[in-house]
Amino acid sequence: MNLSKAFFEGRRLETLVENKTSYTLQHAEMHVFETHQQAERVLLQFDQPVLATMLVGKKVMHLNEHKPFEFLPGESLILPADEIMCIDFPEADLQNPTRCLAMTISEEKIREIAMLMNENMPKTEDEEWQFLTHNFHFTNDIAIHQIIHRLLFLFTENHPSKEVFLDLSLRELVIRILQTERREYHTAQSFISDQDNRLTYIIKYIRENLDKSLTVEELSRKAYMSESHFHRVFKNELGISPIDYINEERINLATKLLKDTRKKIKEIYMECGFNSMSYFNRVFKHKKKVSPKEYQMKYKSVGLE
């Protein structure tokens, strides 16, 4: 993700460790941090919920009650207000600085968006949408990547309507992040037995039956919902349709099976529940940007069995 020309024209480099360039609007602040030398145990804290996104380089994050982990480009991290981050910069130097975006969003704006979600897209069970009160580390999907890129542009743009544009982008970003978290939550819970949440039960059923024919009609019946209601609440809560989720899980399984270069493509697509080679190829290439054969050959060429 590239920073705009306006950012480099406006920023002042005052320190080599976590040099901060900030932009402030009504409901959010954006800070871009640059580090130009190796450093350890650098502390950072915000008094509002924050979205941190790696742009360039690598950090090692130390958070409360978590093992240290690498924070890499294409990844984001949600932190509640007042959470202390302890950060290492093992690779930063003058020629290859580490760059990270940290965007705080006011709790007032977050409550407004959560209220909007509760009114228009309620969860399946007796729960309400609210912003995360725990750390959430995730890989950006293409939609979240594009919104963050858009926000970088908006904060540095000189436009009379930028507050309006920013408000729309913030709403979409918060909604997509909460849906991403719910999807990962239900998937994680699906590994635990005796779950009484209907969506968790359905996701568990999908993951255990990927090789079988799965339809919205069958899944909605198991969730004790009409097809239209099931489709709507599934997409509202997880941010993805049931069929797209099934295909996503099947492609995830296919990528694991393709690493065994002895397996034939036909065996793999049937094991993953696809009913034709052409459909499997089309879905796989759309998700992974290469064909299944090309993906498998990549492992064969380096001798991975």
Determine the pLDDT at residue 304: 47
Contact 97, 56 (CB under 8 A): yes
Determine the pLDDT at residue 193: 60
Determine the pLDDT at residue 299: 75
Element (H, E) at 165: helix 162-189
Residue of 202 and 126 predicted with greater confidence? 202
Q: For residue 37, what are the contacts with CB-CB under 8 A and spacing of at least 6?
A: 16, 17, 89, 92, 93, 94
Confidence of residue 64 (pLDDT cuts 50, 70, 90): confident
47-51, 157-161, 278-282: range with lowest mean pLDDT: 157-161
- Show the tokens assigned to 137: 């580390």
Determine the pLDDT at residue 103: 96
What are the tens digits of pLDDT across the range 90-134?
A: 999 998 999 999 999 999 999 999 999 999 998 877 788 988 888
What are the tens digits of pLDDT across the range 67-88?
A: 899 999 999 999 999 999 999 9
Determine the pLDDT at residue 86: 94
Determine the pLDDT at residue 10: 67
pTM metric for this prediction: 0.82
* CA pair distance 134, 123, nearest whole angstrom: 19
Determine the pLDDT at residue 159: 87
The domains located in the chain, with CATH, are 5-184 (2.60.120.280), 197-305 (1.10.10.60)
* CA pair distance 266, 259, nearest whole angstrom: 14
Neighbouring C-beta atoms of residue 232, cutoff 10 Å: 14
What are the tens digits of pLDDT across the range 216-241?
A: 999 999 999 999 999 999 999 999 99
Q: Work out whether strand 59-62 and strand 69-71 pair parallel, antiparallel, or are unpaired.
A: antiparallel
Averaged pLDDT score across all residues of the chain: 90
